A and B are shown apart, each in its own frame.
Chain A
């Protein structure tokens, strides 16, 4: 078994993903625009009362972040599946665990991280109390990484299917439940003036578990999809 040193491979893989993304810069903005668009819908749907919005803000922000990540995850492997780079990746002597991890990391850098960075802006629009902002950003930082990892499992399993879009929501949203509960829980606690540390620690635990296990499931999913395709 010969293999290149793992770290250079991981960084080469990551650089390639980011280079590809930056050749289509508008697509990076899509999840953010989606985020803003849906945030706009809530005041229109439930009324502009600042107190009511402030009460719902943690839940709204977290649900929208969740849907934005899910939508972006759906197409994570699609182009690579269609142009054959995925099957070539499976034939490389490199550990598929690392390749999958780098795909997810690139995905998170392009969706989860920007969402986290712009979230305070949307939080202000939804009247979230300012003391809750650090908890919001920290919970999104940890939580969106879990969402990317878990969402990629769904993307890997459905990449070869013609009607993957709705199916991935059905497969993955149930797995998002704990992240949503603890993510919005953290923000709610902070908004009431309590410490959100316990919830953030739980999210950190979920992230470690997801990093350890999810790439194996993604790798298995990709092998199955290439095989059936």
Chain B
């Protein structure tokens, strides 16, 4: 699903990764670990195809679409959670009807525990709630490959448990997840751990 070969990653003239290789296939849950500044975010941005100037080497993705969750929320503060997610669905080309889409969005917002906040402007929500709106995309995305940068940030403990369950479901139905986290990942599913910082 994802094949990285001979990747050399630099940021601001500093060498972060040297001759890095990674192969992610369907059903794999990959956790990238490392200290602050070890290049986790840069690596994920490179994998998503957002940063192409800092690295040399080859990154090939067989999946045609992916879901990337970065430090920036990707939400419009002036739109409600419902409107933000509707735009996400529209721009990712699910050609279901409008009713189907609205039902999906209701379900996704319920899954992240935001019932009752569907029509509040996002900039009036708390940081944790905004994060949950962002995470609701996981329930709407048909993408086989998920690249998640610190998905647990600002999420409370019960939220984390639900989130881990979602990640495992994604992997079990044939998808793949590459993620970073400073928190321990508590699940029975096998995790591929990759430690950065020895470049």
On A, residues with C-beta under 8 Å from B are 1-5, 8-9, 12-13, 16, 19-20, 23-24, 82-85, 87-94, 226-228
User: Which residues of chain A have C-beta atoms less than 8 A from B49's C-beta?
Assistant: 91
User: Which residues of chain A have C-beta atoms less than 8 A from B76's C-beta?
Assistant: 20, 83, 85
Q: How far is the CA of A20 from the CA of B121 in the complex (A)?
A: 11
User: Which residues of chain A have C-beta atoms less than 8 A from B34's C-beta?
Assistant: none
Q: Do A84 and B70 contact each other (CB < 8 Å), given the known contacts A19-B83, A20-B79, A90-B50?
A: yes
**A-B contact list, 24 entries, CB within 8 Å:** A2-B64, A2-B93, A9-B91, A12-B87, A12-B91, A13-B91, A19-B79, A20-B78, A23-B78, A83-B72, A83-B73, A83-B74, A83-B77, A84-B74, A87-B50, A87-B70, A88-B88, A90-B50, A91-B49, A91-B68, A93-B65, A94-B91, A226-B50, A228-B53
Besides A4-B94, A20-B78, A227-B53, 15 other CB < 8 A contacts? A3-B93, A4-B90, A20-B79, A83-B74, A84-B71, A84-B72, A87-B50, A87-B74, A88-B91, A91-B68, A92-B91, A93-B65, A93-B92, A94-B93, A228-B53
Interface of chain B: mostly helix, strand, loop or mixed? loop
User: Which residues of chain B have C-beta atoms less than 8 A from A5's C-beta?
Assistant: 95
User: Which residues of chain A have C-beta atoms less than 8 A from B71's C-beta?
Assistant: 84
**Interface residue tally on B, bucketed by range:** 20 to 34
Q: Are A85 and B75 in contact (CB under 8 A)?
A: yes
User: Which residues of chain B have C-beta atoms less than 8 A from A83's C-beta?
Assistant: 72-77
Closest-by-CB residue of A relative to B78 is A23
Give the distance to chain B from A93, nearest Cβ to Cβ, in Å.
6
Pick the residue among B66, B70, B72, B94 that contacts A82 (CB under 8 A): B72
User: Which residues of chain B have C-beta atoms less than 8 A from A227's C-beta?
Assistant: 50-53
Give the distance to chain A from B52, nearest Cβ to Cβ, in Å.
6
Which residues of B36-54 have CB atoms within 8 Å of chain A's CB atoms?
48-53
Interface of chain A: mostly helix, strand, loop or mixed? helix
User: Which residues of chain A have C-beta atoms less than 8 A from B68's C-beta?
Assistant: 87-88, 91
Q: How far is the CA of A226 from the CA of B68 in the complex (A)?
A: 14
Give the distance to chain A from B133, nearest Cβ to Cβ, in Å.
12
Q: Are A93 and B93 in contact (CB under 8 A)?
A: yes
User: Which residues of chain A have C-beta atoms less than 8 A from B50's C-beta?
Assistant: 87, 90-91, 226-227
Across the A-B interface, give the 5 residue pairs with the lowest CB-CB distance, nearest first: A84-B72, A4-B93, A84-B74, A88-B74, A23-B78
Q: Are B70 and A93 in contact (CB under 8 A)?
A: no
Closest-by-CB residue of B relative to A23 is B78
Pick the residue among B64, B66, B87, B93 that contacts A16 (CB under 8 A): B87
Q: How far is the CA of A88 from the CA of B91 in the complex (A)?
A: 9
Q: How far is the CA of A3 from the CA of B93 in the complex (A)?
A: 6
Give the distance to chain B from A14, nearest Cβ to Cβ, in Å.
12
Q: How far is the CA of A228 from the CA of B78 in the complex (A)?
A: 26
Q: How far is the CA of A94 from the CA of B49 in the complex (A)?
A: 15
Give the distance to chain A from B37, nearest Cβ to Cβ, in Å.
18
Closest-by-CB residue of B relative to A89 is B91
User: Which residues of chain B have C-beta atoms less than 8 A from A88's C-beta?
Assistant: 68, 74, 88, 91
Pick the residue among A1, A12, A82, A84 that contacts B90 (CB under 8 A): A12
